[in-house]
Amino acid sequence: MKHADPVNPEQKEKFGARDIAKSVFVFLANYVLLFAIIFLSMLLNSVNAENKDFIPFMRENVTSVIYLLFCIFILFVIIYFYFFFEDRPSLKTAKNIWLVFILLDVSIIVCYLFGFFFNVYSRPVAMLALLALLLLGRRAAIFLNVIFALMMFAIDHFSNFTVTGVNENAAVITPLLTFSAGMIGIFVGSKVKTRVCSFLTGFAVCVPILIMIACLEYGTGLELLYSLLYGLEAGVCSAVLFMALLPVFEVCFNCITDYRLRELTDHDAPLMRELKERAFGTFNHCIVVAHLAEACAIALNEDTALARAAAYYHDVGKLRQPEYFTENQSGYNPHNELSPELSVDIIRSHAKDGYELIRARRLPKILADVAIQHHGTMPIKYFYAKALKMTDGELNIEDFSYPGPKPQTKIAAIIMIADASEAISRSLPDRTPERVESAVREIIEERVDLDQFDECDITMRDLTAIKEAIVNCLTGVYHSRIRYPKLKLGRRAEEEEDKEKKSDA
Ligand SMILES: [Fe+2]
Ligand SMILES: [Fe+2]
């Protein structure tokens, strides 16, 4: 499933006249592009149906073309209204609008090329639904699948498209075939977690296609068999093309999907490998924070895969100077030779460095946002206290604080609390459930007092759920073990016995 970018502050702003004008302009640009593609599809369809050459065909069907122009325009208006009322933040970014229309453009081109070179039944009609499911989410995928089915119907209908077989007008079956194959793809694809299962989705998609072909071509003998084979090809090709095109869309539009997040949290992902090799302490810290963040995301019904990935990448900024962070030090602490002001500069820069590093590697922006927000505007108490000891005058605590921004999303707030909880749990002398609970409660209360959650929509109930999830996890990690008796077995036991006998002698 697609992982929606949590709403950022700029997206919370009002959708003004300027945004409407900008989004309408992008829609119109896409209308021109899509109509050019639909013209090409009509050409392929008319040649395929042996309707004559394209130019005489167009001359005879000027009215049909005008109707088609109008029909597609109506569908465009409906698409605009769908996003305006259901997912307005998407319209603020031209990239999102382009993604929707490039998906439609590519699907129409691919379907009509398959229809032209192979057979009308071999068109991979479920490809759009599968891609939209992963890139835009289930709701938008269902909507676009309906629009796509109607567009296919309009193209087939206005090309006076016919196929051989008992039924003379294949255009009648186009919307039903496209719609049902796409819907099966969406329902089955929503449950799929691996790429192998995605491929198997292609076979599920075949079911409605084969049933409809069997009904339509019943009684045509060998023709029916060929049509069924083409139907099988349609389902399998939908899944294969979906798997081939998904990484292209993920990279070009920087989309976050389950597959992308799983690849990013692989310990061999480039940035993770670097962290493991150059800052092993930070790498271990990120793994524990990821466990805590996942548990919190489950408790809050938030995106667990995203919470896990955000935790993995929240401290990558430490890669710039790993030796200045306690978890990567073994004895020698370079801060002993620095002024508290300089130490603070180095420590707090890791949030901004992380943001820049993630953006430079073209990784999802939400990971960069969490990296820069995970300390909010919290003071770095250790160096503030050190500086206070070294001066008689007053010190401005803001000079010893992170510059922010504060967490803007629930995921960023979860990472902030999980990060501090993991760090404090290491320093606890005893890790009884009561002691861990009190430490996590203090962390949350301190952040609430310092207004760290003012800019995200987290509630007190969410904070309580986060506290319980973290305490459960941490007490599970640091549970006490029974003391094993000192028993020596086998050859070591005999050696010990010999030693004892010799000493007795
Ligand atoms: Fe950090
Ligand atoms: Fe951290």
For ligand 2, the distance from its centroid to the CA atom of residue 368, given in whole angstroms, is 14
One-character DSSP codes across 238-269: HHHHHHHHHHHHHHHTT--BHHHHHHHTSTTS
Asked if residue 70 has pLDDT above 60, the reply is yes
For ligand 2, the distance from its centroid to the CA atom of residue 257, given in whole angstroms, is 24
pLDDT at 7: 45
- 215-229, 367-381, 391-405, range with the lowest pLDDT: 215-229
For ligand 2, the distance from its centroid to the CA atom of residue 358, given in whole angstroms, is 15
Give the Cα separation of 133 and 427 in Å (integer): 45
Closest CA to 84 of 20, 169, 3: 20
Please state, for a pLDDT cut of 70, what percent of the chain lies above it.
85
For ligand 2, the distance from its centroid to the CA atom of residue 314, given in whole angstroms, is 6
Note the ligand closest to the C-alpha atom of 378. 1
Note the ligand closest to the C-alpha atom of 318. 1
- Look at residue 127 and give its three-state secondary structure: helix
For ligand 2, the distance from its centroid to the CA atom of residue 274, given in whole angstroms, is 16
Please state, for a pLDDT cut of 90, what percent of the chain lies above it.
45
For ligand 2, the distance from its centroid to the CA atom of residue 483, given in whole angstroms, is 33
Note the ligand closest to the C-alpha atom of 402. 1
pLDDT at 121: 86
Note the ligand closest to the C-alpha atom of 420. 2
Helix pair angle (460-477, 280-299), 10° resolution:
130
Note the ligand closest to the C-alpha atom of 354. 1
pLDDT at 153: 86
* Overall average pLDDT of the 238-243 stretch: 92
Asked if residue 11 has pLDDT above 60, the reply is no
For ligand 1, the distance from its centroid to the CA atom of residue 8, given in whole angstroms, is 20
For ligand 2, the distance from its centroid to the CA atom of residue 283, given in whole angstroms, is 9
pLDDT at 503: 60
The model carries a pTM of 0.75
- 6-15, 207-216, 377-386, range with the lowest pLDDT: 6-15
For ligand 1, the distance from its centroid to the CA atom of residue 250, given in whole angstroms, is 28
- Specify burial of residue 374 (Cβ count, 10 A radius: 0-12, 13-18, 19+): buried
For ligand 2, the distance from its centroid to the CA atom of residue 447, given in whole angstroms, is 16
For ligand 2, the distance from its centroid to the CA atom of residue 256, given in whole angstroms, is 22
For ligand 1, the distance from its centroid to the CA atom of residue 193, given in whole angstroms, is 31
> Confidence band (pLDDT; 50, 70, 90) for 55?
low
For ligand 2, the distance from its centroid to the CA atom of residue 459, given in whole angstroms, is 23
Per-state percent for the chain, helix, strand, coil, to nearest 5? 75, 0, 25
Give the tens place of pLDDT for each residue, 343-368: 999 999 999 999 999 999 989 889 99
Give the tens place of pLDDT for each residue, 417-476: 999 999 988 888 777 888 899 999 999 999 999 999 999 989 999 999 999 999 999 887
For ligand 2, the distance from its centroid to the CA atom of residue 480, given in whole angstroms, is 25
User: Which CATH number is correct for 260-477, 1.10.3470, 1.10.3210, 3.40.109, 3.40.50?
Assistant: 1.10.3210
For ligand 2, the distance from its centroid to the CA atom of residue 276, given in whole angstroms, is 14
pLDDT at 166: 40
pLDDT at 165: 44
Give the tens place of pLDDT for each residue, 28-44: 888 888 888 887 777 77
pLDDT at 422: 93
For ligand 2, the distance from its centroid to the CA atom of residue 43, given in whole angstroms, is 58
Domain parsing of the chain, residue ranges: 9-255, 260-477
> Confidence band (pLDDT; 50, 70, 90) for 10?
very low
pLDDT at 485: 56
Asked if residue 276 has pLDDT above 90, the reply is yes
Give the Cα separation of 422 and 231 in Å (integer): 54
CB crowding 451-484: b at 16 or more within 10 Å, else e: ebbebbebeeebbebbbebbbbbbbeebeeeeee
From first CA to last CA, the distance across the chain in angstroms is 75
For ligand 1, the distance from its centroid to the CA atom of residue 454, given in whole angstroms, is 20
pLDDT at 171: 61
For ligand 2, the distance from its centroid to the CA atom of residue 389, given in whole angstroms, is 27
Asked if residue 54 has pLDDT above 90, the reply is no
For ligand 1, the distance from its centroid to the CA atom of residue 226, given in whole angstroms, is 61
For ligand 1, the distance from its centroid to the CA atom of residue 370, given in whole angstroms, is 10
pLDDT at 89: 81
pLDDT at 3: 56
Give the Cα separation of 163 and 220 in Å (integer): 13
- 5-9, 41-45, 139-143, range with the lowest pLDDT: 5-9
For ligand 1, the distance from its centroid to the CA atom of residue 375, given in whole angstroms, is 6
* 8 A C-beta contact, residue 28 and residue 72: no
Backbone angles phi, psi at 452, to 5 degrees: -75, -20
Q: What integer best gives the mean pLDDT of the chain?
A: 85
For ligand 2, the distance from its centroid to the CA atom of residue 289, given in whole angstroms, is 7
Residues with CB under 5 A from ligand 1 (ion): 315
For ligand 1, the distance from its centroid to the CA atom of residue 411, given in whole angstroms, is 15
Note the ligand closest to the C-alpha atom of 327. 2
Joined together, the tokens standing for residue 358 give 């993630």
Tokens 């798997």 correspond to what residue?
243
For ligand 2, the distance from its centroid to the CA atom of residue 313, given in whole angstroms, is 9
For ligand 2, the distance from its centroid to the CA atom of residue 411, given in whole angstroms, is 14
Note the ligand closest to the C-alpha atom of 372. 1
For ligand 1, the distance from its centroid to the CA atom of residue 295, given in whole angstroms, is 19
pLDDT at 197: 80
